[in-house]
Amino acid sequence: MIGNLKPLEIVLIIVVILLLFGAKKLPEMARSLGKSARILKSEAKAMKKDDAESAPASTTDQAAQQAAPRTIQAAPGDVSSARPVAEQNTTKS
């Protein structure tokens, strides 16, 4: 559709837009749009950075949890009566 427009029609459309919104409002709108785009871009970078930092930490946490021996506690927070759990490897033949 844009390819079918003649230069005079494009100029006429621009003039109508200027009359509707006003010459004073257009730069403000463009500035506001630019600020919004910059904010969106910086937030997207921050989210990617947070994801990249948390991914290696979560894998090391999982490895530490798997390496630690499992224990049974008598009461929550009671470590004096905790004892190791003997894990049974039951496989069906």
Beta-bridged to residue 84, according to DSSP, are: 71
Q: Are 72 and 85 in contact (CB under 8 A)?
A: yes
Give a yes or no: residue 66 inside a domain.
no
Give the C-alpha separation, 41 to 46, whole Å.
9
Q: What is the pLDDT of residue 56?
A: 65
Mean pLDDT of 1-5: 69
Residue 17 lies in a domain: yes
Q: Please check whether residue 41 lies inside any domain of the structure.
A: yes
* Domain annotation covers residue 81: no
Q: Are 74 and 81 in contact (CB under 8 A)?
A: yes
Whether pLDDT at 41 is above 90? yes
Residue 32 counted as domain residue: yes
> In the chain, what is the straight-line distance between the N-terminal and C-terminal CA atoms, in Å?
71
Confidence of residue 38 (pLDDT cuts 50, 70, 90): very high
Task: Return the pLDDT at 24.
Answer: 79
The token pair that represents 74 in the structure block = 């008598």
Query: Could you tell me the residue range of the domain that residue 52 belongs to?
Result: 7-59
Overall number of domains in the chain:
1
